[in-house]
Amino acid sequence: MTHKATGSRALSSDALARVEGEGAMRVEIRDGRVVDVQLNIYEPPRFFEGFLRGRGYTEPVDITARICGICPVAYQMSACTAIEDAVGVTVDGALRELRLLLYCGEWIESHALHIHFLHAPDFLGFDSAISLAAVDRAVVERGLEVKRIGNRILEVVGGRAIHPVNVKVGGFFRVPTTRELEPLRAELERGLELAVQVVDWVAGFDFPDQELGCELVAADHPTEYPMLADRVISDRGLDIAAAEWLDHIEEFQVPHSTALHARVLERGEYLVGPLARHHHHAEKLAPAAARAARDAGLEPSCVNPFRSIIVRAVEVVHAFETAIAVIDRWVRPAFAAVPVAPRPGVGHGVTEAPRGLLYHRYEIDDAGLIADAVIVPPTSQNQPTIEHDLWHFVEANIDLDDDELRRRAEVTIRNHDPCISCATHFLDLTVDRS
Amino acid sequence: MSGPQHAAPRPSLAVWKFASCDGCQLTLLDCEDELMAVTDRVEIAYFLEASSAVVEGPYDLSLVEGSITTAVDAERIKEVRRQSRTLITIGACATAGGIQALRNFGDVEELLRIVYATPEFLSTLGTSTPISDHVEVDLELRGCPIDRRQLLEVIGAVLAGRKPAIGDHSVCVECKARHNTCVLVAHGTPCLGPVTHAGCGALCPSFHRGCYGCFGPSEGADIAAMTSVLRAQGMSEDEILRLFHTFNAWSEGFREPPVGPVPVALSPSRLSPSRLSPREDRP
């Protein structure tokens, strides 16, 4: 109720709907020129980095999952990676494979949600997937089926779709048997088929021309399209280990947001997420995903944020293929986790959440407690770029009336799939033309 | 898309968010097999995560996610209550204050200084409190996150005008029903199952893990006895306190477990100020 205008335009989308979390957008126009754009994130702060101090070194895995109900696995993976780095443990082999499988489930679930529920309605002129279903039930049901299969992975491997219970520092509490994974494989085959159809569907949408000019930052892995990774690269020379993050990326606070912003030191704003990942790693896509991308006419480097929906759909195909490959290679390990003992130290973790790179850093004291925690979610990193993107969009479309401008500005924001809960934090648009 | 309305008006559903992770409202969208059937029977009148269409209240059923952590939200929930015939809170944040209620045990000013360089930009309350501290709540659905089956049961019950079949027994009952080996007795794994509200289907013990209490305390939970058992498992007083103090830390049952003196985990002396330097940049 606080998020919507009172008066005659109550049905308009004054609050930025179809994003995760709460915020508002403020655009100030003077004499036909944009003088200020603010993406206000007013989601109340929850202080995770503060109350993690003094918790046991195994606890961030479950606690940081609660930062985001849409991408809890990303938080679990970055937390595990960072803590394992701090205590000097490497998780590889079948246990790393199982982590990849779990992560594939989250990419599929989160991307299928964004494609069908949050983003596609914008291209097709609907206010929700529910109203879209009233005219084309089959495409929404197909999307739900893809999403359901992603959630099945999370349930089989993680115990449940939201805040999985089976992940811990060192590996898992219990590893699935081959017999448990086999029925999942059959579902994944079907999911793969549907996911290829989804790429074809979204590729047919009408995309406005637009190019982002910012630095593109993604995690890096020598052979894999990155989910689990340990290095960070950009198209402007960044090539660093996770441990060097704080030397190159700076977080800062702005008055209009409870989410911190981030920038590359010396250079400025940057973008993480599907466009950045695809730019750097398109050649590492699995075969069906690469084929689907080609058939969809997706250029090897696509920096049109509207077309990010195609990249997400291609990444869903890739995630299905990766998940199937993990199951085909699966040999159940003798241990569910490698032994871990606390020791004082500092550790860093970068993995690719569906929305983009997620960095965690923990300092562990001699009692095995967290002395300091740093968490840099993807939406915090993208917020300056989203504002910049909005600025250009509004300037180029300044003659539209307020309602149409608001609607299309919201689309500009949704292109980036902001997870405002993650970044702390939706949108009233105020256009001030005074 | 709305053609002529021939059918009787459907009950309206609104989904509200306060301080939370969005996971409990996502549970509704996670009902993939049932979602279309639900939207056939109820009108989604306000659900920002899923739709930019907003229908004016009042609403027949409101689902409320999240806890109250700001003065603005403390007022907003009253308006939500006024607009709602039935109000159901969903999840540990809405029913117990959530993980962010850990601030209730410490000093929110300290937390602000750890995370933000310029705390003055923020307005937040010193506490995170459940919705029932602020308005009358018709039913509470527990869990971090809530369970999909329980959510569908509640929506179905409200539509049918009957009482939902949601038990208030402990996780142990569900665990026995699944024929799990008791992780506490057989493996010596610390487990909050005996004092934790059912609803998850004994998920953690089924994965050879002790229950970590994400559904909060069960009815009549004997916290003192549980604490003794955990102590006998070799847990320190500090570890026991931390086990209770997670997603339902501010629930009455878990708030003050009878533990001995513990090293102060969150004393101001441990805390250094934010690593960030204050600045105000514009794009």
Summarize pLDDT for B17-65 with one digit per residue, the tens.
Answer: 999 999 999 999 999 999 999 988 999 988 877 777 778 889 999 999 9
The helix/strand/coil state of B202 is coil
- Mean pLDDT rounded to a whole number for chain B: 87
d(CA A360, CA A349): 5
- Could you give the angle at which helices A308-329 and A93-113 cross, rounded to 10 degrees? 150
A148-A162-B149-B218 Cα dihedral, nearest 10 degrees: 170
d(CA A89, CA A338): 8
The CA distance from B116 to the nearest CA of chain A, in Å, is 7
Record the pTM: 0.91
Asked if the C-beta of A174 comes within 8 angstroms of chain B's C-beta atoms, the answer is yes
Amino acid identity of residue A258, one-letter, is: T
Q: Which residues of B touch A168 (CB under 8 A)?
A: 209
d(CA A366, CA A103): 32
Percent of chain A that is helix, strand, coil (3-state, to 5): 45, 20, 35
Residues A410-422 have a mean pLDDT of: 75
Name the residue ranges covered by the structural domains of chain A.
Answer: 48-381
- Mean pLDDT rounded to a whole number for chain A: 88
Q: Which of A130, A135, A366 best tests the B interface by mutation, with the highest count of B CBs <10 A?
A: A130
Nearest-CB residue to B30 (from A47, A50, A161): A161
The CA distance from B230 to the nearest CA of chain A, in Å, is 16
Residues B128-138 have a mean pLDDT of: 97
Residue A215 host element (H or E): strand A215-220
d(CA A141, CA A150): 14
Higher pLDDT: B277 or B115? It is: B115
> What sign has the CA pseudo-torsion B243, B198, A46, B275?
positive
The helix/strand/coil state of B96 is helix
Q: A387–B283: do the CB atoms touch at under 8 Å?
A: yes
**What is the value of ipTM here, to two decimals?**
0.90
**By C-alpha distance, which of B122, B21, B28, B18 is closest to B74?**
B18
The CA distance from B40 to the nearest CA of chain A, in Å, is 9
Asked if the C-beta of A138 comes within 8 angstroms of chain B's C-beta atoms, the answer is no
**By C-alpha distance, which of A353, A364, A376, A336 is closest to A59?**
A364
Q: Which residues of B touch A369 (CB under 8 A)?
A: 265
Q: Show the tokens assigned to B125.
A: 């309350």
Residue A122 in this model has a pLDDT that exceeds 80? yes
**Residues A23 and A415: beta-carbon distance below 8 Å:** no
Band (pLDDT 50/70/90 cuts) for residue A386 is confident
pLDDT (tens digit, 9 = 90+) per residue, A159-207?
999 999 999 999 999 999 999 999 999 999 999 999 999 999 999 999 9
Asked if the C-beta of A249 comes within 8 angstroms of chain B's C-beta atoms, the answer is no
Partnered with residue A261 across adjacent β-strands are A252
B-proximal residues of A, 41-60, CB under 8 Å: 43-51, 53-56, 59
Amino acid identity of residue A281, one-letter, is: H
Q: Which residues of A touch B214 (CB under 8 A)?
A: 163
Q: A174–B48: do the CB atoms touch at under 8 Å?
A: no
Q: Which of B18, B21, B215 best tests the A interface by mutation, with the highest count of A CBs <10 A?
A: B21
Nearest-CB residue to B283 (from A4, A68, A384): A384
Query: Any idea which residue has 């790179």 for tokens?
Result: A357
Q: B21–A36: do the CB atoms touch at under 8 Å?
A: no
Spatial neighbors of A191 by CB under 8 A, at least 6 apart, are A108, A145, A146, A149, A150, A320
Residues A325-342 have a mean pLDDT of: 97
Band (pLDDT 50/70/90 cuts) for residue A423 is very low
Residue A138 in this model has a pLDDT that exceeds 70? yes
A134-A138-A144-A147 Cα dihedral, nearest 10 degrees: -140
Residues A354-374 have a mean pLDDT of: 95
d(CA B49, CA A426): 10
Domains within chain B, CATH numbers bracketed: 12-160 (3.40.50.700), 171-276 (no CATH)
B-proximal residues of A, 314-353, CB under 8 Å: 336
3-state secondary structure A116-182: HHHHHHHHHCCCEHHHHHHHCHHHHHHHHHHHHHHHHHHHHHHCCCCCCCCEECCEECCCCCHHHHH
Q: A55–B242: do the CB atoms touch at under 8 Å?
A: yes
Regarding beta strands A239-241 and A231-234, do their DSSP bridges make them parallel or antiparallel, or are they unpaired?
Answer: antiparallel
The CA distance from B83 to the nearest CA of chain A, in Å, is 10
Q: What spatial distance separates the first Cα and last Cα of chain A, rounded to whole Å?
A: 26
Q: Which residues of A touch B246 (CB under 8 A)?
A: 62-63
Residue A403 in this model has a pLDDT that exceeds 90? no
d(CA B20, CA B141): 15
Residue B125 in this model has a pLDDT that exceeds 70? yes
Provide the pLDDT for residue A88: 97
Higher pLDDT: B55 or A222? It is: A222
Provide the pLDDT for residue A243: 96
Q: Which of A160, A374, A428 best tests the B interface by mutation, with the highest count of B CBs <10 A?
A: A160
Provide the pLDDT for residue B263: 60
Q: Which CATH class is domain A48-381?
A: mainly alpha
For residue A126, give the chain B residue with the closest CA: B1
